[in-house]
Amino acid sequence: MGSLDNWLNKLEGRMPGPEDESVARWRTSVIFLEVLTEASQLRTARGMTNSYRGGKLIQPHDPVGEAVGYPYTHGEAREFAVRRAIERMASEGRLLYDGDPEELIAEWTETFKDIDARGVEIREGKIMGGMAIWDEVSATGPPEPLIPRRLGGGVPPPKGWAAARDDGGEG
């Protein structure tokens, strides 16, 4: 165990102090990436199409709408993503921030609001020209349930499905 303690002490000695500028830059880039990843995952959960796991259809869900309520704006969705990302980082011990996480959540929400006010849109990690949409409604209700596709005669189609088909057939 002595060699492990020595190795850990040497490793800790190489790490910069908490007030070091490189740690602040690292934390900023990590939080930015975590928030964008969270926002992307939230949008993906709402718009899933025909995802199956173990032969069962996975219906889309809307964590933002479930937490915030409907209708909600793009700004509320981004604030929810900021909150989830920072709270997850804090619970995992990856935040490297001594203050109150609520202060950090407010600061980052304001940062994204400023980005939106300047009309900057971030897509796939690239900053592009965009529109200010912070206060526009993002969703008015939960996503529509998916219609299961037939898996070898497994799940029967819902009533009225045959009338909507091109050939008018029954199955």
Q: pLDDT confidence of 153, banded at 50, 70, 90?
A: very low
**Total Cβ atoms within 10 A of residue 140:** 9
**Average pLDDT of every residue of the chain:** 77
Task: Tell me the two tokens of residue 84.
Answer: 């989830």
Q: What is the pTM of this model?
A: 0.68
**What is the spatial distance between Cα 96 and Cα 152, in angstroms, rounded to a whole number?**
52
* Lowest-confidence region among 88-102, 118-132, 153-167: 153-167
Q: What pLDDT score was predicted for residue 46?
A: 83
More confident: 38 or 133? 38
pLDDT digits (tens, 9 = 90+) for 44-55: 888 766 677 787
Please provide the size of the chain in residues: 171
H or E element in which residue 35 lies: helix 21-46
Task: Tell me the two tokens of residue 45.
Answer: 């959960």
Task: Please state the domain extents for the chain.
Answer: 20-160
Looking at the predicted structure, is the pLDDT value of residue 61 above 90? no
Asked if residues 57 and 51 have their Cβ atoms less than 8 Å apart, the reply is yes
Give the type of residue at 58: I
Q: pLDDT confidence of 83, banded at 50, 70, 90?
A: very high
Q: pLDDT confidence of 142, banded at 50, 70, 90?
A: confident
Nearest to 68 by CA among 76, 59, 78, 57: 76
